[in-house]
A and B are shown apart, each in its own frame.
Chain A
Amino acid sequence: MSKDITTMSISYVLFWFVISILILYPKLSKRKIQKRINKLNQSNK
Chain B
Amino acid sequence: MIHKFKKNHYILIISLSLLIINLFLIFGLTTFSRIVYVIFFYHVSAAWLSYFSFSVSLISHILYLKQKKMSWSNLGKNSIIVGVFFVAFTLITGSLWFNATSGAYNNIYWQWSDPRQTTTLILLLSYVAYLIFRNFIEEREKKAKLSAILGIIFFPTVPLSYLSAIIFTSLHPLIKPGNIYWDSIKLFSLFFNLIAITLLFVYLVRELNELDLVKQKLQELLQTKLEEVK
Contacts and interface: CB of A to CB of B under 8 A. Distances in A.
B85 A8 contact: no
Interface in B126-167: none
B35 A30 contact: no
B52 interface: no
Contacts of A4: 34-36, 100
A40 B224 CA distance: 11
A30 B212 CA distance: 9
A19 B96 CA distance: 19
B175 to A, nearest CB: 18
Nearest to B201: A22
Contacts, number: 76
Contacts of A10: 96
A22 B214 contact: no
Given A14-B93, A30-B214, A7 B200 contact: no
Contacts of B46: 15, 18
Contacts of A12: 38, 42
Given A11-B96, A26-B211, A30-B214, A19 B38 contact: no
B39 interface: yes
B222 A11 contact: no
Contacts of B97: 7, 11
Interface centre among A8, A14, A29, A40 (most CB of B within 10 A): A8
B92 interface: yes
Given A11-B43, A14-B89, A18-B86, A30 B96 contact: no
A8 to B, nearest CB: 5
Given A18-B85, A19-B200, A36-B218, A11 B208 contact: no
Interface of B: 12, 34-36, 38-39, 42-43, 46, 82, 85-86, 88-89, 92-93, 96-97, 99-100, 200, 203-204, 207-208, 210-211, 214-215, 217-218, 221-222, 225
Interface of A: 1, 3-5, 7-8, 10-12, 14-15, 18-19, 21-23, 26-27, 29-30, 33-34, 36-37, 40-41, 44
The 6 closest A-B pairs by CB, nearest first: A4-B36, A26-B207, A7-B100, A26-B211, A11-B93, A11-B39
